[in-house]
Structures are given as C-alpha cells and as structure tokens.
Structure 1
Amino acid sequence: MNRTIRTVEDLLVLLDGLFPPAEPFWDRFYADRSAERPFFTPAPDENLVSYLDRGLLPGAPGRALDLGCGAGRNAIHLASLGFDVDAVDLSSSALAWAAERAREAGIGAGPRFHRASVFDAELPHARYDLVYDSGCLHHLPPHRRVSYLALLDRVLAPGGHFAVTAFAAGAMGSERPDEELYRLGTLEGGLAYSPDELRSLFREFTPLEIRPMAAQDTGSDRFGVPFLLTALFQKAPSL
C-alpha cells in the first residue's frame, strides 16, 4: 500500500522517518561510560536543586516524571528527596547505568525506569506534579513538538510544574529554521532555543523563571554548563 496517511499520528511517524533513528545513537552514546561527557556526571542539574531550595517547586511528597532521563542523575536526586519518580528513556544502555546508580545510592523507593519513547511510555500514574526534561526537547524534530505539548497536556497535573533545559541559542545547537532541517534531514546534534522561543512554545503555561544554566566547577555536587538554557513553568490550576 502506498496511501497510508490517515491520521495525524500517521503523518508524524512518516516525518520521523526523514531523520536518523534516535535509539541506536543513544545506545552507543551511553555504552562508553569512560567517555568524557559532562552529562555523565551523577550530579543533578543546578537549576533543579535551586528551584527546590528556593521554594519555586513544592518539595516531596509528589509525583515526578523525568523525560529523557539518561543515566538517571535527576531522577535519582528527586527520589532521594522522597518524590515518587518515573523516568523514561529510549536507551537501554542509559537505563542500565541509571539502575546501577540508583542501587548504589541505596534509595529504598528508587525511580521506576521505563525504556520507551516519551510519547509511548506506559506510566503508572495519569498525572504528575512535576515534569522534568533535561535535554530531551532539543533532540526532538520540529513536528514532535506537537506530540510533546499533547504529552504535557495529558500528564501534567493542574497547578503542576514543568521544567526544561535545552541548548541555548547563541551558545550551542542548530539555529536553522525548522523547514531547513527537513531539507537537510538532520537535527545537527540538537536544536537551540531562545528564551522567547520557549515562552512562545509553552505559552499555555505561566513562566516562573527562564535563565542560562549556572556553570559549576569540576567536582561540584551540582551539574551546570553555560550552553544550556533553563526554564520553569506552571500549569494553571483547574477551575
């Protein structure tokens, strides 16, 4: 059959095929644990720690969902504070490492790790008080922002918080227009976002803070690199 496009999801899947598949890349990325990659640190994002320290995020107990959790550093941190955490990633090698880290941390009720697309994961809860994304959004092709917004609408509880870190425009990542990425068939390693672009993309939410990630020294108990942009939003309470 040649005429297979019938639904929006059919169209999204077809557009997925214009870019290289993500799962093999991330399995290779996390398989070499000796590689000197800043994201391999076990330390949580400095902005996440800061939100909690300053009371911008409610503390535990609460339900948290980590999108594209990688080797689990933020999910493990949230679980260590008493959050009920689900964490999703495509890469089996990343999740194997995350599970080892959780065991080594000795967390009794550690994160539940799910190997799946963030759009297809079967989660135990319908709603979460916090949805956290450290580096997932900027690796999504433009058409999957539609799926991403639908995911947030579905899983973020009324009054809940959504936080994201992404490549910062002018510092790292591709700044090509969306349509040009389809002509090239590549995301060029990830897409850069400006503060205004994040405000526009998530305009249904209230922005609480948008700023560059604060750089952290080697050996810090927090992760921070200056080429990332951080943003915290809140969903409106239900009426």
Structure 2
Amino acid sequence: MDRNIRTVDDVLKLMDELFAPEADRWTSAGATWWDGFYTDRTKPVPFFVAKPDESLGSYADRGLIAPGRALDLGCGPGRNALHLASLGFHVDAVDLSPAAIGWAEERAREAGADIRFHCGDAFALTTAELAGPYDLIHDSGCFHHLPPHRRVSYLALLERSLAPGGHLALTCFAAGGMGSELDDADFYRESGLQGGLAYTPESLRRIFSDLTEVELRRMHDEPAESPYFGESFLWTALFRRGAPTPAAAAE
C-alpha cells in the first residue's frame, strides 16, 4: 500500500508518472531521449542553426532588455546563450541533454564566450548552483514541452530566480500553427503531450498574469540568409516582473 504523498513535490512527481516514458523529456531522466535527438547534428531541425531568435535580437536592438545576469532554459546547442553573451550578459545555460550541452560548449569555445553551462533539470538546480537572481530568463522551446502540472514548477522557478524588474523572454508553440490544442485535462486522459502544447495569447497572459506584458506577437519568419532564426508557428513574448513597492523593499 502506497500512502507516501505529503508535499506538492510528491504530487508533481506522481503526475509525471502518468506520462511515462514521455516524462523523460522534462525530468532529469530525459537525457536519453534528448541525447538521441541531438546526436545527429546534420538533421534538418530548424533550431540546430547557429543563429539566435529574431525576437531576442529585436529586444536588444530596441533597448527592451539590457545586459545583466541571464538564464537560458533548455539552451540546446547554445545559439541564444551565445548571443546573450555577445551582448554582454553573464549567462547560465541549462539543458537536460549532455549531447546538447557538449555541442553548446564547443560553440562557446569557438566563439570565445564565457558561459556557465549546467546539465540537468532546471527545476532541481539549487540557488547555490545558479548565479541568480536573473535580469533575464530566456526560454525558446522549453515551456511548450511541459505538461500542465509542471507550470507550477515553472512559475516557482520564476518566483525565486527572476529579479524585480527582470524580464522573461518566451518562445513557444502558437495555437493554429504548431502543437496540440487539447484542453489541459485531456492530456491526462490521453497520457501524452502530443508533441508539445500550443498556446493562445489569452492563455499565456493568464498563466503569466503576475508579470507585466511588454510584447506578445508571432515570431517573424526569417529567410535562410538572415542572421536570425524565426518561424511564424511560434509565439514570442516578453514579460517584466514588477519592482517591489517601497514598503516591501524596506522589509
């Protein structure tokens, strides 16, 4: 008889098990699946290119973000982490896959970029392992691979790691463009994520309602010769965490 649930963490882990083996894609066991994904670097995967997201370049060009400390979630081969470092950010980059981290480290060495790479589950990393709080948390493609219950973990990560006045830069599947449009509850009935979750602007605004929306739009398509990556089946959003009130700051 199993009666071991007593914390929110216990509940989250139990719900993860409903998606086994697909749960490997967002837990520390995910190295095997993602390593298989990243092993063949010649695959025609759009985001294997050594280019940053066009939205990230746009935010910097328009002065919406400024150099500081940055955390790149699900960094993959490091394309956005390298761009952040080139802008003057002090970058921590996290991914589950040793193959992805190895590829990213190679790119960083070639570029002479000083980036702290972490292989593991971002939700399990301690504040001692990271260099936050962060002025920017960047996520291009991690959020839409999480099951609904892991949004709790994601929001908790933002709460403890995003500095007051800091920004969340998010790129995720857009409803009508890419990803599954099942209701949250149906993913538990189906016991699968259907390749990733699609989001509407309204759902993103509701999920991140504790943050202030700076911009939310479709990513721009970028031609092959562009220095940036861009696909219009994605949303790109920039949210800002409000600065503390004078009373809260004094406590």
Give the deviation of 1:124 after TM superposition: 3.2
Q: How far apart, in 2, do the equivalents of 1:200 and 1:145 lie? A: 12
Q: Which residue of 2 aligns with 1:167?
A: 173
Q: Alignment partner of 1:131: what SS? A: strand
Q: Which residue of 2 aligns with 1:139?
A: 145
Say if 1:88 and 1:121, in contact at 8 Å, map to a contact too: no
Q: After the TM superposition, which parts of structure 1 deviate over 6 Å for at least 4 consecutive aligned residues?
A: none
Selected match of 2:44 from 32, 36, 48:
36
Partner AA of 1:127 in structure 2: P
Q: How far apart, in 2, do the equivalents of 1:52 and 1:126 lie? A: 20
Q: Alignment partner of 2:236: what SS? A: strand
**Could you list the per-position Cα deviations for residues 180-200 of structure 1 after superposition, in whole angstroms to 9, with x for gaps in the alignment?**
111111111100011111111
Q: Which residue of 1 aligns with 2:184?
A: 178
1:48 aligns with 2:52: no
Q: How far apart, in 2, do the equivalents of 1:79 and 1:56 lie? A: 16
Q: Which residue of 1 aligns with 2:249?
A: none
1:111 aligns with 2:115: yes
Give the deviation of 1:148 after TM superposition: 0.5
Say if 2:140 and 2:170, in contact at 8 Å, map to a contact too: yes
1:8 aligns with 2:12: no
**Could you list the per-position Cα deviations for residues 105-126 of structure 1 after superposition, in whole angstroms to 9, with x for gaps in the alignment?**
122xx21110111101233323
Say if 1:12 and 1:143, in contact at 8 Å, map to a contact too: yes
Q: How far apart, in 2, do the equivalents of 1:124 and 1:166 lie? A: 24
Partner AA of 1:119 in structure 2: F
Identity of aligned residues (%): 58
Q: Alignment partner of 2:148: what SS? A: coil
Q: Alignment partner of 1:232: what SS? A: strand
Q: Alignment partner of 1:95: what SS? A: helix
Say if 1:115 and 1:121, in contact at 8 Å, map to a contact too: no
- Calculate the aligned-residue CA RMSD, in Å: 0.9
Q: Which residue of 1 aligns with 2:218?
A: 212
Say if 2:218 and 2:233, in contact at 8 Å, map to a contact too: yes
Q: How far apart, in 2, do the equivalents of 1:41 and 1:187 lie? A: 26
TM-score, structure 1 length as denominator?
A: 0.96
1:232 aligns with 2:243: no
Q: Alignment partner of 1:143: what SS? A: helix
Give the deviation of 1:219 after TM superposition: 2.8
Partner AA of 2:205 in structure 1: R
**Could you list the per-position Cα deviations for residues 124-160 of structure 1 after superposition, in whole angstroms to 9, with x for gaps in the alignment?**
3230000000001000010000010011010000011
Say if 1:167 and 1:229, in contact at 8 Å, map to a contact too: yes
Say if 2:91 and 2:116, in contact at 8 Å, map to a contact too: yes
Q: Which residue of 1 aligns with 2:94?
A: 88
1:120 aligns with 2:124: yes
Q: How far apart, in 1, do the equivalents of 2:154 and 2:192 lie? A: 19
Q: How far apart, in 1, do the equivalents of 2:3 and 2:213 lie? A: 42
Q: Which residue of 2 aligns with 1:130?
A: 136
Say if 1:26 and 1:91, in contact at 8 Å, map to a contact too: yes
Partner AA of 2:123 in structure 1: F
Q: Which residue of 1 aligns with 2:248?
A: none
